[in-house]
Chain A
Amino acid sequence: QVQLQESGPGLVKPSGTLSLTCGVSGGSISSTSWWTWVRQPPGKGLEWIGEIYHDGSTNYNPSLKSRVTISIDKSKNQFSLKLTSVTAADTALYYCARGSITMILLPWGQGTLVTVSS
């Protein structure tokens, strides 16, 4: 079955760029799925960041749209998240997930904690 694994730096400096990758195994990233990023600040709820389709189409959370880029690398069967101009408010557990057109998120990666601090 499809499994997802997030990877990337756990510490990013304020005003820097957060970069994460989600590796997909057990299935092709070219399938009819929306590959999704969700984050969760410590002790708080889930926030949908955005998604990408295998043809490169993207949708982003309007509140983050000016700072977010999600890209896909079919050759490596992975997709990535870049968030620019980060602040302490961007400190969170970042999850990747496989989504559908009806926003069914299954499965999820285990999540990776990113802390924004100098």
Chain B
Amino acid sequence: QSVLTQPPSVSAAPGQRVTISCSGSRSNIGENYVSWYQQLPGAAPKLLIHENNKRPSGISDRFSGSKSGTSATLGITGLQAGDEADYYCGTWDGSLYGGVFGGGTKLTVL
């Protein structure tokens, strides 16, 4: 059971937009920045979004992040087949005094 809650799977057609939610509590998302990671099949996770809505250099502007209260959302526009991957949210938890991740969401591009 992960501290952060994500939907197990989402799907959409190529070119469409999809959102992935990440729900937590005050001690984690509520009081800390959220990061999002993309894990392609057989690869290590890659940072997509940090500090709620910032993209590292080289990350497409098709990816966006937002946070409101104790929830965060990853948005992906113009879906491509190459976006099929597992997506994880992560943040610090001040009560556990450690990092926490969501359970991951598998994105399928139909």
Contact = CB atoms under 8 A, between A and B. Distances in A.
The size bracket of the interface on B is 20 to 34
Contacts of B32: 102-103
Nearest to B95: A62
Contacts of B103: 45
B44 A110 contact: yes
A103 B45 CA distance: 14
Contacts, number: 69
B1 to A, nearest CB: 11
Given A95-B44, A103-B91, A105-B90, A45 B2 contact: yes
A103 B102 contact: no
B101 A104 contact: no
Contact of B101 (A45, A106, A107, A108): A45
Interface of A: 36, 38, 45-48, 50-51, 59-62, 95, 99, 102-111
